[in-house]
Amino acid sequence: MRVGVNLWVWGASMTDERIERLVPRAAETGFDVVEFPIEERDGFDYERAGSVLSDHDLDGSVVVAMTDERDLLSDDEDVRENGRDYVRHCVDTAATMEADRVVGPLYSAVGRTWRMNDAERTAAVDDVVAQLEELSAYAADREVTLCVEPLNRFETSVFNTVEGTTEVVDRVDSPSCQLLLDTFHMNIEEKSLPAAIRTAGDRIGHVHACGNDRGAPGSGHIEWSPVGDALADVGYDDQVVIESFTPEVESIARAAAIWRPLADSQDALAREGLSFLRTLFD
């Protein structure tokens, strides 16, 4: 298993200065993977970031930041196209950095919730499938995989469970469209994390790991041994990335509802999470 860290653990937004400082820190801590949030287009030099990864023998991944201006289910076609163009930009970014995946809620703005009847939900799923078919083909041409993430009910009303999101992946039916499973969201929405992992099966393309409170994996009440067993049972042996946040970055803290520190320090969160995951998967 390749254990990684999302740079949101230490701050936002990403700049060349932050990349030059944080990627070596991740390598020194012992991570195998660094995940890059793309909040703004061209916020940092993608080619240089790829070189820094290579210099430290690290793999990379790219995580999206879906906003109201990038919502694939907006009623405004200009917003929808802006969302698709943003996803294509993230795919190009990943390819430039020689990262092989773009992950996150690739369908709607985080924090946007609305009630849908059965017919409206069916139409929304059809809409997402059609757009992801196009975007997955774009990603495949660049040897990048899109990994679609269900979020908890407080952050989206579109896809909350693994079972519901597998329908999208199955209908898109492309090796370049898979699932992202996040233990934080699963802890809220799934009856059983191991059962949900087994339902996802070989559709899993990426995993985010953190505690039930968004802290370091292993620091809360999630039962991790069955999670590790389930991932082994379905044959997943790829990137597992710690995704947490610092309350010091107001925009991210508000979006993720991080109102207090989740560890003694962000370095401690990363270090302790890495140690726990190494023990779990070894």
Ranges of H-type helices in the chain: 16-29, 46-55, 77-97, 118-141, 162-172, 183-189, 193-200, 224-233, 250-256, 266-281
DSSP string, 124-190: HHHHHHHHHHHHHHHHHHTT-EEEE----TTTBSS--SHHHHHHHHHHH--TTEEEEEEHHHHHHH-
DSSP code, position 199: H
Known active-site residue 243: yes
**SS3 label, residue 73:** coil
The one catalytic residue in 155, 190, 243, 272 is: 243
Please classify residue 201 by burial: count the beta carbons closer than 10 Å to its beta carbon, then call 0-12 exposed, 13-18 middle and 19+ buried.
Answer: middle
Known active-site residue 250: no
Nearest to 24 by CA among 1, 58, 60: 58
CA separation for the pair 268, 114 (Å, rounded):
38
Asked if 164 contacts 121 with a C-beta cutoff of 8 angstroms, the reply is no
The one catalytic residue in 149, 189, 190, 272 is: 149
Active site positions, annotated: 149, 243
